[in-house]
Amino acid sequence: MNVNINMRKRETKPMPKSMLLIISILFLGLGIFFVTKIVHNMTALTSKTTATIVSIDVRESKSTNDSNRNSDAVITIDNSDKKKETYTPVVEYYVEGERYEMSTGVGTNNPNKYRIGDTVEINYNAKDPAEFEISGKGFTGNLLFAAGGILFGIIGLFAFLRPR
């Protein structure tokens, strides 16, 4: 483990208004994207069925650096051997006699959340049964991202438009 400590004096400058505008527009764009995703899922993924978890995809990522910031010092800790695993269930389900086996695309860091052989309720698109999501998953996260994006975007726009 290597530890580097760099002392530097902090100098704060106000954010340029153009940067505030760009960040606000990005947040608004993300908020609108997640609202459209929620609306799409609510209108397209209306059919339900039961799916069986047939396998778990395990992806490993390696964390190379963690930085902890102190008031005037930057401490960098090198954790080269730190690994994270993400567990993504693969489900099998049938629609009108046709078999579908798909990854949910949403992983978890909890290895015990899903087990092979477990059943889960899914919502799928009747026009395209390969498009699906596990029932109840994703809505809360999408809603939080939508609300947060729109809220921070509007706050940023008001701050941009406010006279100095």
Rounded to two decimals, the pTM is: 0.62
pLDDT band at 51; cut points 50, 70, 90: very high
pLDDT in tens, 130-162: 999 888 776 677 788 888 888 888 888 888 888
Residue 159: partners with Cβ closer than 8 Å, 6 or more residues away: 20, 24
Angle between helical axes of 139-161 and 17-44 (0-180°, round to 10): 150
Q: Number of C-alpha atoms within 13 angstroms, CB side, residue 62? A: 5
pLDDT in tens, 52-64: 999 999 988 765 5
pLDDT in tens, 108-118: 888 888 899 99
Residue 67 pLDDT greater than 50, yes or no: no
Domain boundaries of the chain, sorted by first residue: 15-161
